[in-house]
Amino acid sequence: MKANKNVLILCCMAALLWLPLLASNAVAADMAALVNTAGMQRMLSQRIAKDYLFLGGQIRAGKATRQMQGSVALMLNNHDVLKKSVTDTKVQGLLGEIDPLLEKLVKITKAPYAQFSGATMLELSQSLLELNQAVVETLEGQQAEKTVVAVNIAGRQRMLSQRISMLYAAHQVGFKSDATVAQMQRAVEEFESAHASLEGNSLNSDKINRELQGVENLWKTVRHYFTANSESGFPVTIFVTTDDIMKRMNAITLLYVKAHWAAKAK
């Protein structure tokens, strides 16, 4: 009974934290909201793996565990929303491929950390990222408005902040390979390129520009840990700062969603 109560509390916490993104079936019919929800799934696939690996390294273990459990609950909720809201045959097929991967992910997160499960989690995070990216691209292609494109780019920045942190954590807990380093450096390049494109977006309001500046300031504090020798660094600082970047990019994504709604109302 106590365990069930704790799960319920975590689900409620996740719902409250991400309330603006939990689209009802009516709201999810809007393309920007659908792209946002599907885009968030990309981020959650990386965030859950990141938390699992930080947990394995005993870095902010308590917070990593709570965050991971809340993110799993949110990912399952979003997946259900997408399955109920999207009628496109291709998207439904992609969501069907995601089903068994989510089952594996949930099973791993319910058990104590193990090195071999860390390797499986990295593989799952990649597969889920690719499938959810395909969902986003399919949805975006159905309505390629500037506002929807901006929602996708900003939403992807949420994912990249968590992917960079996840790959850093993977390297720290023993998954040391040239491939891991190359993936991290590529994610850094993609993050910086997308940030520059968002800074020049004609849709930007003063508030969006302020949030983007805040992201840039945070990024400057940790960037060198990902582009220099990844053996060095301060894992707690990286854990906290990349989460702060993700939250700011989440706020920016929502502002682009609102810009989309405002444009459609004219």
Structure tokens at 88: 């496109």
Note the pLDDT tens digit of each residue in 238-261: 999 999 999 999 999 999 988 877
The average pLDDT across 221-242 equals 83
Q: What share of the chain is helix, strand, coil (3-state, %, to 5)?
A: 85, 0, 15
Q: Answer yes or no: is pLDDT of 227 > 90.
A: no
Residue 114: other Cβ atoms inside 10 A? 12
* Residue 117, CB-side half-sphere exposure with 13 Å CA sphere: 18
- Segment 208-222 mean pLDDT: 97
pLDDT for residue 177: 84
Q: pLDDT confidence of 24, banded at 50, 70, 90?
A: very low
Share of the chain above pLDDT 90, in %: 65
Of 113 and 31, the one with more pLDDT:
113
Residue among 95, 93, 69, 68 nearest 83 (CA): 95
User: Residue 59: is its pLDDT beyond 90?
Assistant: no
Report d(CA 223, CA 147) in Å as an integer. 29
The 10s digit of each residue's pLDDT in 115-168 is 999 999 999 999 999 999 999 999 887 665 677 888 889 999 999 999 999 999
Outline where 2-114 has alpha helix (H): 2-17, 25-28, 31-56, 61-85, 89-109
**Token pair listed for 201:** 């977006």
Mean pLDDT of the chain: 86
**What residues does each domain of the chain span?**
2-265
First to last CA, the chain: 51
CA 97 and chain centroid, separation: 19
CA distance 35 to 85: 12
